[in-house]
Amino acid sequence: MKLSKYLLPTLREVPSEAEIPSHQLMLRAGLIRKLASGVYSYLPLGLKALKKIEGIVRDSMDSHDAQELLMSAVLPKEYFETSGRWEVFGPEMFRLRDRAQREFCLGPTHEEIFTDTVKNTIKSYKQLPITLYQIQTKYRDERRPRFGVIRSREFVMKDAYSFDKDEQGLDVSYQNMYDAYKEAFDKMGLEYLIVDADSGAMGGSGSQEFMVKSDVGEDTIAYCRCGFCSNIEKAGCVAEDNNNSANELEMEKIYTPNSRTIEELTQFLNTDAKSFAKTLLYNSDGKIVAVMVRGDREVNETKLANYLGSINLELASPEEVVETTKAAVGFAGPVGLEVDVLVDAEVALMKNFVVGANETKYHYKNVNINKDFTPTVVGDFRNIEIGDICPKCKSEKIDTCQGIEVGHIFKLGTKYTDSMDCTYLDENGKEKTPIMGCYGIGVSRCMAAIIEQYADESGIVWPVSVAPFHVIVVPVNTKNEEQNQLAEEIYSKLKSAGIDVLLDDRNERAGVKFKDADLIGIPVRINVGKGAADRQVEFILRKGLELSEMSADEAIERAIAFIGENK
């Protein structure tokens, strides 16, 4: 491809809408353009990289005997009604009507549709197990689209679904996809962690996420030297025993005029946050509940939603707080509260703690569980934190890091096959329900994660396996015929050797060309400059920008070898 004819609108300025490096670079390197919040077009260079990632994912699926098919993105409401998810998806689902007012959605994920397909096509145990997949565009009206294609509202996902006769079969299919995922992410050059993940209220017997470690990742991972590695949504907490041996004192109401937050309270009472239990009110599908965690802790909304079986869980609005506590926001507490009070296990070990009094400007001190209020339930409702005791080895301390979730594998069980009445006949002619697994890779998110992982101050650094082009040949001065000719020769020879090669034949200053080449991150650059008369060129690896001089023929050979070794 000749750059003079290629649609590559690079930008020198950092676009103000982009907060993180990968998003900035995808815009600056002319890979994507924004159409609306969370909606992007892929320009030629971006699409080429996306297709390479898709290719890697497809190869890993195919080599693990998954079969590719392609479903529509326009999905009739009925399927989601049968599974119960028409409601569950709530505002995240893009909904539409046809001219006859029939309702549809733009598919956010395809469990229902694959289950229905299997229901209609598979009759006998002889046809199982089977794993089907597609690489397709998904639609989710995310609450907070951000970071470019990392959290967008239209994105490319590879979704696969396995159907097995029994649990042992599912274990095999799951392991098979686990292996396929490792192969795919390794090939993309990604460094990742495989973490235990939440499997939702309905259970499922196991779930793992593939996380790329990155400061801009939206997920928090808790890990321990012992090998424990879990999304904090799921990581179980060991309750810290604060001052269990103290005698229980008499509860006392205290005047705390300007102390609504934990910080204000700790200052006012001159103690630390560990002596407080904060009470947060949530609205779970219309019902208000209270949750108590220690003053320095955070409520884990995933654990809470799983316990409550919530479809929609949100912090209660200020109006709801005032109505429930009969006090201003900031003074909620468990004593006398007429809603369910869920107490974190750590709070249950505390003595003589401070809580809101459900009265504006007042708190209670010396509060004790069972003496002053009775919890509805005691459980694990908080986030694990740095320094916590590891829930696995129970001796080492937890550390945390941020991660970008690029893939998710999940033992689903029979949630969909049951609700959608999908059965097969076993060896004895008896009707049985297939057991499902589902497996997703965020193909477009992978692209951003790769950029995030490898970029340097000059731009993108593509691993060869996903690079849109392998080599860029740059005649330094296009007014010099010798340089042009040698560059053309190198370009044609690489092309005939099957290398994806770009020729920067634009009539631009050398500095502009070099900057662009670095920005778009092509793994190998060959500069054809003053040495052209002697067939001497510069050979530069994008990673590390290491430069060496050599003959044109040697550069061609080196490029072919380098690409071959790293493909």
Residues that bind ligand ATP (CB under 6 A): 109, 140, 142, 151-152, 155, 157, 405-408, 440, 442, 444-445
Q: Which amino acid is present at 169?
A: G
Shortest CB 68 distance to ligand ATP, Å = 17
- Is residue 194 within 8 A of residue 210, CB to CB? The reply is yes
Smallest separation (angstroms) from ligand ATP to the CB of 549: 43
Report in angstroms how near the CB of residue 448 gets to ligand ATP at its nearest. Answer: 8
Q: Which is nearer to ligand ATP, 388 or 405 (CB)?
A: 405
**Shortest-Cβ-distance residue relative to ligand ATP:** 442
The least distance separating ligand ATP from the CB of residue 214, rounded to whole angstroms, comes to 13
User: How many Å apart are CA 26 and CA 42, to the nearest integer?
Assistant: 10
**DSSP conformation letters of 158-199:** EEEEEEESSHHHHHHHHHHHHHHHHHHHHHTT---EEEE---
Q: Nearer to ligand ATP by C-beta: 407 or 529?
A: 407
The answer to whether 205 and 411 are in contact (CB under 8 A) is yes
Q: How far is the CB of 437 from ligand ATP (least distance, A)?
A: 12
Nearer to ligand ATP, 26 or 390 (CB): 26
Q: Can you tell me the distance from the alpha carbon of 301 to that of 401, in angstroms, rounded to the nearest whole number?
A: 19
Q: Which is nearer to ligand ATP, 110 or 506 (CB)?
A: 110
Cα 193 to its chain centre, rounded Å, is: 12
The two tokens of residue 327 are 């006090």
In angstroms, what is the minimal distance from the CB of 198 to ligand ATP? Answer: 9
| Percent helix, strand and coil across the chain, each to the nearest 5 | 30, 30, 40
**Smaller CB distance to ligand ATP: residue 121 or 137?**
137
Pair 340, 283: CB distance under 8 Å: no
Find the shortest distance in angstroms from Cβ 15 to ligand ATP: 19
Identify which of 386, 365, 403 has the alpha carbon closest to the alpha carbon of residue 249: 365
Nearer to ligand ATP, 181 or 514 (CB): 181
Nearest approach, Cβ of 147 to ligand ATP (angstroms)? Answer: 9
CB of 336 to ligand ATP, least distance (A): 38
DSSP 396: S
Long-range residue pairs from 193-197, CB within 8 A, at least 24 positions apart, any chain = 193/221, 193/223, 193/229, 193/403, 194/229, 195/221, 195/223, 195/229, 195/230, 195/231, 195/403, 196/229, 196/230, 196/231, 196/234, 196/235, 197/230, 197/231, 197/233, 197/234, 197/408, 197/410
Torsion on CA atoms 382, 384, 386, 389, rounded to nearest 10: 110
Q: How far is the CB of 371 from ligand ATP (least distance, A)?
A: 41
Q: How far is the CB of 192 from ligand ATP (least distance, A)?
A: 11
The total number of residues shown for the chain amounts to 567
Q: Which is nearer to ligand ATP, 308 or 406 (CB)?
A: 406
Distance from C-alpha of 374 to C-alpha of 363, rounded to nearest angstrom: 18
Q: Which two tokens stand for residue 28?
A: 């600056």
Nearer to ligand ATP, 218 or 557 (CB): 218
Nearer to ligand ATP, 61 or 517 (CB): 61
Nearest CB to ligand ATP, comparing residues 351 and 408: 408
Pairing of strands 154-164, 435-442: antiparallel
Least Å from the CB of residue 232 to ligand ATP: 12
Q: Which is nearer to ligand ATP, 197 or 486 (CB)?
A: 197
How is residue 507 written in tokens? 């009539």
| Residue 474 contacts residue 528 (beta carbons within 8 Å) | yes
Cβ of residue 151: shortest distance to ligand ATP, in angstroms?
Answer: 5
CB of 175 to ligand ATP, least distance (A): 19
Judging by beta carbons within 10 Å of its beta carbon (0-12, 13-18, 19+), is residue 397 exposed, middle or buried? exposed
* For ligand ATP, the closer CB: 64 or 408: 408
134 to each of 54, 75, 112, how far by Cα in Å?
10, 15, 14
> Is 272 in a helix, a strand, or coil?
coil
Q: Which helix (H) or strand (E) holds 67?
A: strand 67-68
* Choice between 189 and 442, CB closer to ligand ATP: 442
- Locate 1 and state its tokens: 């491809």
Nearer to ligand ATP, 210 or 373 (CB): 210
Distance, first Cα to last Cα, the chain:
19
